[in-house]
Amino acid sequence: MTPERKQKLISTLERRQPDLHLITDQVHKPRNLAALIRTCDAVGIPYVHTVTPKAGYIFKGTAKGSDRWVKMISHDSCEQAIQQVKLQGLKVYAAHFSDRAVDYRDVDYTIPCAILMGSEKEGVSDAAAGLADQHILIPMMGMVGSLNVSTAAGIIMVEAQNQRLKAGLYNESRLDPDEFTDTLFEWSFP
């Protein structure tokens, strides 16, 4: 490995945000999941919780290799994923059309939190929506009722990044030192 490559890995790890997660509730299309993971890498989200649809599911798509840089944690249900991140002290913001939804820019992403995205067809389930701490929404001005799930996720994740940039959360390493070392070791394999 070249020194430049090693430095790139280190400075990426220094910007990882261990207290910012993404949860996807049965996103069916592999290419949507791929785009989601690619944006997670870009904003420094280290963990994506997935609930894989029951039927035979093969992950492929243009993640541009970003699935290498983001840890996928799979769960049997979305409720299980939410409970797990809550035990870690994260608030859950569900991107969900409901009466209690607020503008996505009006919540605080600098606190430990997880962003929950619904599936293409069903959106966020009632059970999962009930467990979320807040519902958030990107205002829409057109005829069509929803955005593509990976587009919506990207918009929300980059808002989280903008808030965290402003708060200085990318300025010094925030990963647990052991995890930093282990991940660097793992990433260093060709």
Please report, as ranges, the residues that interact with a copy of itself according to CB under 8 A: 8-9, 12, 15, 31, 34-35, 38-44, 62, 64-66, 68-69, 105, 120, 138-148, 150-155, 158, 161-162, 165, 170
Min CB(84)–ligand SAM separation in Å? 19
Query: Residue with structure tokens 């793992």?
Result: 186
Among residues 97 and 180, whose Cβ is nearest to ligand SAM? 97
Query: In whole angstroms, how large is the CA radius of gyration of the chain?
Result: 16
Min CB(69)–a copy of itself separation in Å? 5
Instruction: For residue 49, give the amino acid letter.
Output: H
Using N-to-C axis directions, what is the helix angle for 177-188 and 3-15, rounded to 10°?
A: 140
The interface mask with ligand SAM, positions 102-141, x = CB under 6 A, is ---------------xx-x--xx------------xx-x-
Tell me if 45 contacts ligand SAM by CB under 6 A: no
CA distance 63 to 144: 27
The answer to whether 179 and 61 are in contact (CB under 8 A) is no
